[in-house]
Structure 1
């Protein structure tokens, strides 16, 4: 059976990746900060699908915890076939007003931890084959504070790495959803319906994960779930950054 390691697996898109991969009979390594939520999900998936589920409690803003997860990713005796870099969180968009330590932690989780885990995965997968999925966002195509900057880095690096390591049998895909119904917005203190975003713009987590896994299996470097967001991303490349930045101040993606 293939084995997938998923960060940020206790809720939201991470938990949905776990459910869909378990349904496909993949064994799992689930990583998140919350032990109770991880253990509960692990028990559900073992019972429902009969797969092996390992739990690693780790805060990916902490260097020692990232090193522990990277060690598991690079284990050639119990290899990881699919790495899903999904862990992340949002901050208010007003960078100058945010606590700089929060911003540094944000950068560590979204960029540094993802980079370290990709480095560990590539070292173990090259020649053997494997897949890396980086959960980015359509925010990575527009100008919007450090969240957009982090996601833009993931997209750009995924594009390069997918081309660079295809010869070694490894694919790297940035999955870029738009507004998606998960617990992400609630954790930001923004209840559903208070984002000022029309209902038609919201995506279902199951569809995002299904399309992302499909595009990863096809070896695509970027996956943008749903036609409407593909159109939005295409238009954003034609519009001035001052306009897209103004529009993007509403909501979180």
Structure 2
């Protein structure tokens, strides 16, 4: 059956919905008529987004403010979602760090693993059984082109996204005949607007403007791919190049080259 038509009882869940790709996914899903559950830490922003989407698109929007790097909070959220009719899960929430691992904050690195991998796994386990039972549903996994290769100075993030990339495509193989769509989004750099010189981060300054994709474009592309049950969507020149490089160039060559580039992001 695949992605079910929007209904008053079903909800599409978007994690990391307070900004970036997550906010764009929520808007695009609402535009398509899906009622929503928005998940992120910042409740105030989620509530404002919920009000705006409900008024503009006439859908129901619930807010579940949750820190997905907190294991207890994630467990509580999963218990709630397991009993709901979840039509779509967008596993989008994630964070990244740059720099030599030994110099980074150890607890923040652990939190990054919990958010980028454990929460993705737990949320999928919470909603998948009922999707399979109904023979319909969709799971969008937001991995990364960074998960296709070893990246010194981005080690935790690259490893966590390697998990998401592989988990997504493995799960897809398991449920391919059971009516559940699973699509991996492996984007390169994405942003909502071109920052001013004062706003620009190191990443903004290092990555040329033409390599960035808008969050709105990525959200639409991803949901179109999920509806078609496409295995992987890789928007943008940089992400495509990293996918090819990670698949065909020996890692002993890619790691030092990419690591030199990523070292600049930690400066």
Q: Contact 1:142 / 1:245 at 8 angstroms: preserved in 2? A: no
In structure 2, stretches of 5+ residues that fail to align are 1-6
- Determine which of 150, 153, 169 is the counterpart of 1:159: 169
What residue is the counterpart of 1:72 in the other structure? Answer: 80
- Determine which of 232, 239, 249 is the counterpart of 1:229: 239
Structure 1 residue ranges, 4+ long, deviating more than 6 angstroms after superposition: none
What residue is the counterpart of 1:119 in the other structure? Answer: 125
The TM-score with structure 1 as length reference comes to: 0.90
What residue is the counterpart of 1:104 in the other structure? Answer: 110
The TM-score with structure 2 as length reference comes to: 0.86
Does residue 212 of structure 1 match 2:226? no
Matches within 5 A, 1:1-253: 1=7, 2-75=10-83, 78-128=84-134, 129-144=136-151, 145-182=155-192, 191=201, 194-226=204-236, 229-239=239-249, 240-242=253-255, 243-251=257-265
SS at match of 1:219: coil
The Cα shift of 1:193 comes to 7.0
Q: Cα 1:99–1:111, aligned 2, differ >3 Å: closer, same or farther?
A: same
Q: Contact 2:144 / 2:186 at 8 angstroms: preserved in 1? A: yes
**CA separation in 2, counterparts of 1:139 and 1:195?**
19
Residue-pair matches, total: 247
Residue by residue over 1:140-179, the C-alpha shift from the partner in whole angstroms, topping out at 9 and shown as x without a partner, is: 1122211010011100010100011112211222211111
CA RMSD of aligned residues (A): 2.2
**CA separation in 2, counterparts of 1:47 and 1:159?**
36
Q: Cα 1:173–1:200, aligned 2, differ >3 Å: closer, same or farther?
A: same
The Cα shift of 1:124 comes to 1.6
What residue is the counterpart of 2:4 in the other structure? Answer: none
In structure 1, stretches of 5+ residues that fail to align are none
Q: Contact 1:134 / 1:154 at 8 angstroms: preserved in 2? A: yes
Deviates more, 1:225-234 or 1:114-123: 225-234
The Cα shift of 1:118 comes to 0.6
Highest relative contact order (Cα 8 Å, sep 6+), 1 or 2? 2
Residue by residue over 1:62-82, the C-alpha shift from the partner in whole angstroms, topping out at 9 and shown as x without a partner, is: 12211122123211xx40000
Q: Contact 1:3 / 1:26 at 8 angstroms: preserved in 2? A: yes
